[in-house]
Amino acid sequence: MSISVATRRDFVKTVAAGLAGAAVGMPASSYARILGSNERIGIGIIGMGRQARGHLQRLLQDHAATAQVVALSDVYEPNLRWAAQRAPDAQTYTDFRRLLERPEVDAVFVVTPDHWHALNTILATEAGKDVYVEKPTAVRVSEGRQMVEAARKNNRIVQVGTQQRSSFVFQNAVDIVRSGKLGPISFVRTWNYGNEYPAGIGNPPDGAPPAGLDWEMWLGPAPRVPYNANRFGVAVDAEGNFTRWATWRYFWDYAGGMMTDWGVHLLDIVQWAMEVDYPTSVAAVGGKFYLQDNRDTPDTIVATYQYPTFVATYENRQDNGFPMEGHGYGIMFHGTNGTLFVDRSVLKLMPEKGSSLEPLELKNEGNDGSKHIANFLDSVKSREKPICDIEIGHRSSSTAMLGNVAYRLGRQIQWDGEREVAVDLPEAEALLISEYRTPWAL
């Protein structure tokens, strides 16, 4: 499929409207309810893996006065059974479209693998539901733009699950950077380090899907391939506890490796603090050098992002876990007056020699995930945009995706962020625009 620059936005708008209404078989926004100020929000959850389990428990424990879990969906029966035991009054479905038909579902949590995020979200907004969708927003940039268009067209609240935006330490880090106290900032470093050498995620053979899994539905819009334990990425014991989790994120068909799993979290804070929406150019190098498994994504990558007034990098290595300044992951803003480090546990301000800045250390207050959900629920009631509105989440996710595109092409990308195209690089189009498998075709 090839789409010209001039027609891309028209294509996005047309498909977002046409596909969603046809696939669910309902008029757009037909089930949207007007909630009373004291009425609980009816929640449906699509995908009941490990991340969703955390959301479910927070909804049941921290937000029971505001929200009621009324519907659950998963294509893997052990996941659905585990969730149903915790929320016995909720209706369960193996096909998420049936969940979207329920009028008592006001808002949906999309906690599926990344290759389902866009379609789940678009169909939910067409069904009149507000959405909390996990990061990254999608696998390809074009999908994320469609999600924004669908949210706006249907007047839906869509929050992206970059929960660090609801964190005490990250909010303080953003305030310090924006205050100018660090002085001009020319370089920002982000990183994740770990060591999975040599086996990585292993090399399981293709085979039959486990009992209770609808493999065809799990693949959905992705290419049809034989079942492989690493592509599915989930295994549970007799009690429903995970023994394998989310290794699907290392296959290009479903995700973007650590670049879009962790990179989006870190680059999101960089763009927030530095008040930018996208880089002007991206270059990346790396490879799958030493891990002896069947993943597609690299075990080592360094992506460099050029912005108008600074450079940012994202580094990931999975063959050596030696930390940076004692931290296995994090962000460092390097200014003329000092350096600010932040991760999910702590913020540290370290003055340059001769600077008038005072050292500072703040510990995180915790419970960031619950705070982020609370922000979403407040937005559902108020109709005000959440702290990570879909446009913001799309931009941050796109920045991480561009790192993978530059790596896979072996080319520097000059990025036109307004039109969301790689300038004079037509070969990038295949990695920016998704092709869905019938019947989920875009």
10-residue mean pLDDT profile of the chain (442 residues): values are: 33 36 40 76 97 97 98 97 97 98 98 98 98 98 98 98 98 98 98 98 97 97 98 86 90 98 98 98 98 98 98 98 96 98 98 97 95 98 98 98 98 98 97 94 70
Contact 377, 387 (CB under 8 A): no
Angle at 430 between CA 429 and CA 435, to 5 degrees: 120
Q: At the top level of CATH, which class does the domain 168-198+256-364 belong to? A: alpha beta
Query: For the whole model, what pTM was predicted?
Result: 0.92
pLDDT at residue 232, rounded to an integer: 98
- DSSP letter for 327, please: B
At 34 the pLDDT is 74
Q: Are 160 and 425 spatial neighbours (Cβ–Cβ below 8 Å)?
A: no
* pLDDT of amino acid 11: 32
Give the Å distances, CA to CA, from 370 to 107, 272, 362: 16, 21, 20
Cβ-proximal residues to 36 (8 Å cutoff; 6+ apart), any chain: none
Question: Into which CATH architecture does domain 5-164+370-391 fall?
Answer: 3-Layer(aba) Sandwich (3.40)
Residue 31: per-residue pLDDT: 52
pLDDT at 23: 39
Q: Which two tokens stand for residue 403?
A: 């790192």
Joined tokens for residue 99: 């969940």
Q: Alpha carbon 95 to chain centroid distance?
A: 22
- What residues are paired with 71 via a beta bridge? 44, 91
Distance separating alpha carbons of residues 346 and 440, to the nearest angstrom: 43
Contacts of residue 298, defined as CB under 8 A and 6 or more positions apart, other chains included, come to 257, 286, 287, 288, 289, 316, 407
- 403: closest CA among 261, 273, 282? 282
Domain spans in the chain, listed from the N-terminal domain onward? 5-164+370-391, 168-198+256-364
pLDDT for the residue 35:
81
Collapsing DSSP states into helix, strand and coil, what is residue 95? coil
